[in-house]
Structure 1
Amino acid sequence: MRIRATVAAVSGALALSALVAPAAHADELVGDTKISNVVVNGGKPVVVAATGSKSVTVTFTATDNSGIAWAQPILYRGPDIDRAETGAIANSSDGTAKCTKVNATTSTCKATFTLKQRYNLINEVAGSWKVWALAAAEDGDYVQKDNAKSFKVQRLSKLTVNASPEPVKKGKTITVTGKLTRANWDTGTYTGYSGQSVKLQFRKKGTSTYKTLKTVKTNSKGDLKATVKASADGYYRYSFAGTSTTPAVNAAGDFVDVK
């Protein structure tokens, strides 16, 4: 019997609201069916902007000695599928994956999902997500995995930089300001990311490598400010290493002419 799932709003967040037989309590295996090679979004974190939606593709391999009849993946955030805080089912009409037969025992399966701001994405669900997956064989065997693959869903980050004055005399002080913001899925805007360590870096004109000068922290509004002594023509930038909920980002270098 196929597993079907629907997504419904619960207190402003979304949750997987219905899962029917076979029950989705934990991993289950009947027979020799297998799921392997699960890949989400090409192996990269899923990064979503402040507004709009993001299409996410999941691929995997399913095998059984009798061949694969059908398969279904579900994306969710939570300790397990029964306690999912939010999630997404495949965009197909019945929520299942499209499985293409490779040979008598093996199929490659693919499903596309939509993650959308204020639909199944709010700020508190950024971070680690999981793929629940089930593959059913032609002979009635099946395998069900509560966590077939873990992946990250992150809030898009932006980083700016401005070095001044420019031009500047050698040995004088340069003030480098900037701002680190990230998508706020609750409001559909970009807001400052406070208390984050960000590296101030410099690349001398004619070279290709940035070197870290110092590390500063963003204030409550995400603002950055640091001072350095002017030594040579070159580019200043801020560099953020990222967190589990927010991807790494580098500001475009700002050139300063030193006289």
Structure 2
Amino acid sequence: MRIRATVAALPGALVLSALTLPAAAQADARPMGSDDTTITKVVVNGGKDLVFGITTKKTFTATVTATDPDGITGGWVALWHGTTFDDAGRDGTLLPAEEGSGSCVAADAQTSTCTVHFTVDVTTALKDNAYAGTWHAYAIAYGRPSGTTNDGFAGSVKIKRNTTLTSDASPEPVTKGRTITVKGALTRADWETGKYAGLSGRSVKLQFRKADSDTYTTLKTVTSGTGGALKATTTATTDGFYRFAYAGTTATSAKNSSGDFVNVQ
């Protein structure tokens, strides 16, 4: 879907991470010159989720693939969160790529893929937990000699709050056939307080890997309690590693704890 965006009206203070919109995006972003410039694909961070803790600063890229009968001279991307691009500008949920960071590689005379760079500091750009979730990619492609097109929904990326997960199995060692208790905790980054907080009421799997295997299998599923506390029991059968595994959500990262080895005698 193409959108008409008048970005010039956005207050400079709302452009996060001290980045600015390129001059071409500060005016009516409908196609200029050639009407044949087309954006075919936008990929943010290689198609992977962006996960932020409480002090994380990330540098990543986005690529714009576009085509024009006379060739492509450049591309640019901004990430936005919310219902519309204009609302994102007013609400402060706009993450523009660094101006002038783009470089293009031609696939042929008509099509090129342009790469732009982002630097996002969670302490300044993601101060509201509601910002976690899907962010849309607003992209601009510049055709030769002056064709320009924009797409407010050219791609997307999930920006997630980081989780931590621990596990501790006991007793160690243990007699075969006896009960093993595995305890741990699930916490999540709180961007508003700058701390990690316990994540309760979440389904977490207890998994086991034999000492001579590379594969974990799920033994049971438990629910995290107050403060994200986890506790599960199982029967000791053979030497191996126990861990907890959390699948995550669209706004919270998945996490596996480190495996805790138990020797069975």
TM over 0.5: yes
For the Cα contact (< 8 Å) 2:206–2:242, is it kept in 1? yes
Q: Which has the higher strand share?
A: 1
TM-score by length of 2: 0.83
Find the aligned partners of 1:45 and 1:183 in 2 and give their Cα distance.
16
Question: What is the aligned partner in structure 1 of residue 79 from structure 2?
Answer: 75
Which letter maps to 2:120? L
The aligned runs of 1:25-104 (5 Å cut-off) are: 31-84=35-88, 85=91, 86-92=93-99, 97-101=102-106, 103-104=108-109
For the Cα contact (< 8 Å) 1:30–1:143, is it kept in 2? no
Q: Does 1:235 align with 2:222?
A: no
Q: Does 1:106 align with 2:111?
A: yes
Find the aligned partners of 2:20 and 2:58 in 1 and give their Cα distance.
22
Question: How many aligned residue pairs are there?
Answer: 251
Percent pairwise identity: 45
Q: Does 1:136 align with 2:142?
A: yes
The aligned runs of 1:183-202 (5 Å cut-off) are: 183-202=189-208
For the Cα contact (< 8 Å) 2:41–2:154, is it kept in 1? no
Structure 1 residue 38: Cα displacement? 1.5
For the Cα contact (< 8 Å) 1:7–1:88, is it kept in 2? no
Q: Which runs of 5+ in 1 are unaligned?
A: none
CA 1:138–1:29 in structure 2 vs 1: closer, same or farther (change >3 Å)?
closer
Find the aligned partners of 2:107 and 2:213 in 1 and give their Cα distance.
50
Question: What is the aligned partner in structure 2 of residue 149 from structure 1?
Answer: 155
CA 1:241–1:52 in structure 2 vs 1: closer, same or farther (change >3 Å)?
closer
Q: Which has the higher helix share?
A: 2
For the Cα contact (< 8 Å) 2:75–2:115, is it kept in 1? no
Find the aligned partners of 2:154 and 2:219 in 1 and give their Cα distance.
42
Which letter maps to 1:107? S
Question: What is the aligned partner in structure 1 of residue 228 from structure 2?
Answer: 222
Question: What is the aligned partner in structure 1 of residue 3 from structure 2?
Answer: none
Structure 1 residue 64: Cα displacement? 1.1
SS in 1 for 2:182: strand
Which letter maps to 2:132? A
TM-align CA RMSD:
2.9
